[in-house]
Amino acid sequence: MPGQELLRFLTFGGEEVFGELYLVYEGTGGPLPETPSALVVEVISPLLGRTWVYLGDGPKGMVLKVAVSQERFYQQAADAAGALRLKLVEAGYEVNDVEVVSRRIQNVFEVLKPSSMPEYRSLDTIV
């Protein structure tokens, strides 16, 4: 992404669950800052599919975004995001924005694009 450097830091895995942790640094190619501006975690499991978690700096504190690939796990993801927010606040961080969406994301660049996580909810209607 222009204006950002991305470094894949860690790949983890087991027999059924695996993923990657990305550290995102702001910059244009110079020396890396001491701390990243965001963390992005991708977890892939047979049950949940792909789940993405973004935690980064926002204009008024930290921003937490969670994207689940299957609509049926939306509520569990929303509950987990709320619990993570509380833990971060207890640890002294200010988290002002929490977003949870049901959307298939294929790679980390889709997570980092501005406005990349619009809310999508299926509609149950009778006409």
Compute the distance between CA of residue 32 and CA of residue 18 in angstroms, rounded to an integer: 27
Whether 127 is covered by a domain: the verdict is no
- pLDDT of residue 116 exceeding 50, the answer is no
- Kind of pairing, strands 49-58 and 18-26? unpaired
Amino acid identity at 45: S
Whether 100 is covered by a domain: the verdict is yes
DSSP symbol at 3: T
Domain around 107:
4-112
Choose the weakest-confidence range: 51-65, 69-83, 84-98, 108-122.
108-122
SS3 category, 120: coil
Whether 64 is covered by a domain: the verdict is yes
Question: How many structural domains are present in the chain?
Answer: 1
Whether 85 is covered by a domain: the verdict is yes
Whether 27 is covered by a domain: the verdict is yes
- pLDDT of residue 123 exceeding 80, the answer is no
Whether 124 is covered by a domain: the verdict is no
DSSP symbol at 72: G
- 3-state SS string for 14-61: CCCCEEEEEEEEECCCCCCCCCCCEEEEEEEECCCEEEEEEEEEECCE
Give 73-110 pLDDT, tens digit per residue.
Answer: 999 999 999 999 999 999 999 999 999 999 999 899 89
Whether 30 is covered by a domain: the verdict is yes
Whether 125 is covered by a domain: the verdict is no
H helix intervals, the chain: 74-90, 108-112
Q: Residue 81: its pLDDT value, please?
A: 95
